[in-house]
A and B are shown apart, each in its own frame.
Chain A
Amino acid sequence: MIEFDNVSKRYPDGHEALSQVNFALDAGEMAFLTGHSGAGKSTLLKLIMLMERPSGGQLLVNGKNLSRLHKSQIPYYRRRVGVVFQNHQLLFDRSVFDNVALPMQVSGAQHRDIERRVRAALDKVGLLSKEKLNPVQLSGGEQQRIGIARAVVHTPRILLADEPTGNLDPELSAEIMKLFEDFRNVGVSVLVATHDIALISRMDERVLTLDHGRLSEVASLASA
């Protein structure tokens, strides 16, 4: 589903965030992306989101070379990717329901479909009863879960998460990871950037480690 082929990213200021990164993530596969801060985790996710373009190598998603994607096609590409942001990026001028509905509204879905899927996504993260509230009224963990509901409401093929458990207690973090595994189990490619080693070591998943822009991989930290 996602394929990095010798991908490098050098920023205009000369800083090389990624150097010759190679890895592939299949449909229905989950991996953690870890590394010290500034190691290039965010850059890697931004490349998949097309917020940045690689300066070398090829990035293929679903068999398509992203560098060949025209600017006007980017929105349509992004509709097949779900993203959970570190600071959840919720909009506080609208209800929980409307926040979650956003990815469906931008793709011009019908009202009935939107209602049905938003409720299903909210139910999935256990916050159906809060749909009419403003996100401000929710706790940090609840806001993060709303962010997850928004990332999956349009049933993306790829789910990216950038530090999704940043400020959450271990119990809540584990629940969120369980959610990601559920999506992985139904065929979604899930890539989770985190530096929460304790959490990763409790789970039996691939671990990609970035160190100064270079990627190495271990099958799992679960045994460690």
Chain B
Amino acid sequence: MPRHKTDTVTASQPRRSGAVESRRSLISILRAYIHNHRKNAAESFHRLVGEPLQSVMTMLVVAIALALPAMLYVGVSSLQQLSGSWDSSAQMTLFLKKGAKDKAIKSLIKQLESNDELAEIHYISPSQALDALQDSAGFGEALTLLDENPLPPVLLVVPIATIEADVPRVEQLVKTLAKQPLVDEVQLDMKWLQRMQQILDIGRQITVLLGGALSLGVLLVVGNTIRLAIENRREEILVVKLVGGTNGFVRRPFLYTGLWYGVFGGVLAWLGVVIAQFWLGTTVTRLAALYQSDFALQGIGLDGMLVLIALGGALGLVGAALAVGRHIAQLEP
């Protein structure tokens, strides 16, 4: 049968193996190990490309599961930033008695200016407030129907104390200011911010909860996909084990497959968030403009992209590891 000259292997090779094995240095073993990893990574990738529909569907599931909490996170952080810009101030609005005389107001301002507890005082007269209201919010036409200006004179004051640092001091100040005869009502703007803060906390908790639940979903989806892949390559696994492949060797390509699902799912999730931002962004900015705010959705940024990819990769790897750990040990020739 051997049509070629045949004696090249037979005579020399079998006896040499023992010596060759023991002479291998640590570096050459390491190099072979790294080579094997690179080969596995590339082969797993090519397998995914070879089954584009199946791969893209799995990646999309991963992407959606990652994108939802990511979008919620971006929304919450954007609102957080909005409230953060007022964080430290405990600005108060003093609504003065309607029809208060200019002179009385002036003397009140003078009195407040001498108060050491206050850092800033702004006076907004009823007519200024009306002008501002007419310019904004589309109330213009409705306001022309009014016979007289319904707005009270207002003082915006900023205390030295911050609300986080010194709640009793700020509250004491509110009480003192409320006792002024000219003052109708004192409203602490911070109260609203605190409420918003609480709402944001709930939003953050929902993000964590949703993120946790969907991460579990990713683990299961990737795990199941890998389980099917193992079933499909059953014969190959058995042969590899028969020629001396360790469980680790058999596991490796599947772990890389899981990793790729996760990483590309992360990339798609990032793309999804970016597209959603562009789409929602203009609407949000227009809406915010109506309220005199320059609020804009915060971008997910490079950090966000890296986090999504890392998270996706980790989830894919863990999902694959769970499936592989259960199914490959069971497959014995």
Residues in chain A within 8 A of chain B (CB atoms): 49, 51, 72, 75-79, 83, 89, 91, 93, 102-103, 105-111, 113, 117, 120-121, 123-126, 128, 145, 150, 152, 154-157, 172, 175-176, 178-179, 182-183, 185-188
Q: Is the C-beta of B45 less than 8 angstroms from some C-beta in chain A?
A: no
- Asked if residues A155 and B32 are in contact (CB atoms below 8 Å), the reply is no
Tell me whether B236 is interfacial, beta carbon within 8 Å: yes
A180 to chain B, nearest CB (A): 11
Check A154 against B1 for contact (C-beta < 8 Å): no
Q: Within 8 Å of chain A (Cβ to Cβ): is B327?
A: no
Could you tell me if B17 and A155 are in contact, using CB atoms closer than 8 angstroms? yes
Residues in A with CB closer than 8 Å to B16 are: 155
Q: Is chain B's interface secondary structure helix, strand, loop, or mixed overall? A: helix
CB contacts under 8 Å to A, within B246-277, are 246-247, 249
Interface locus among B7-15, B59-67, B292-300, B316-324: B7-15
Can you offer 29 A-B residue contacts whose CB atoms are under 8 A? A49-B242, A51-B242, A75-B246, A78-B242, A91-B235, A91-B239, A105-B36, A106-B240, A106-B245, A107-B244, A108-B29, A108-B32, A108-B33, A124-B9, A126-B4, A150-B243, A152-B9, A154-B243, A155-B16, A156-B14, A176-B1, A179-B1, A179-B2, A183-B14, A185-B10, A186-B13, A186-B15, A187-B14, A187-B15
A123 near B32 (CB under 8 angstroms)? no
**Additional A-B contact list (20), CB under 8 Å, known A178-B1, A182-B10:** A49-B242, A49-B333, A51-B242, A75-B245, A78-B243, A79-B243, A83-B243, A102-B239, A102-B243, A106-B246, A110-B35, A113-B20, A123-B8, A124-B8, A126-B3, A152-B9, A157-B17, A172-B1, A186-B13, A188-B14
Task: Decide: A110 and B240 in contact? CB cutoff 8 A.
Answer: no
Report whether A78 and B236 are in contact in the complex, using a CB–CB cutoff of 8 Å. no
Min CB distance B28 to A, Å, is 6
8 A Cβ contacts from B1-59 to A: 1-4, 6, 8-11, 13-17, 20, 28-29, 31-33, 35-36
B241 at the interface (CB under 8 A from A): yes
Chain A contacts for B6, CB-based, 8 A: 123-124, 126, 182
Q: Decide if B236 touches A91 in the complex (CB within 8 Å).
A: yes
**Inter-chain CB contacts under 8 Å: number:** 113
A75 to B15 Cα, complex, angstroms: 21
CB-based nearest A residue for B243: A103
Q: Collect the chain B residues with CB atoms within 8 Å of residue A109's CB.
A: 32
How far apart sit A185 and B12, CA to CA, in the bound complex (Å)?
Answer: 11
Q: CB-CB < 8 A to A83: which residues of B?
A: 242-243
- A156 contacts across to B, CB distance below 8 A: 14, 17
Do residues A102 and B1 form an inter-chain contact, with CB atoms below 8 A? Answer: no
Contacts of A178 in B (CB 8 A): 1
CB-defined contacts of B32 to chain A, threshold 8 Å: 108-111
Q: Which of B13, B243, B247, B333 has the most CB of A within 10 A?
A: B243
For A91, the chain B residues whose CB sits under 8 A away are 235-236, 239
- Cβ-defined partner of A117 (8 Å) among B11, B13, B235, B241: B13
Give complex CA distance A78, B238 in Å.
13
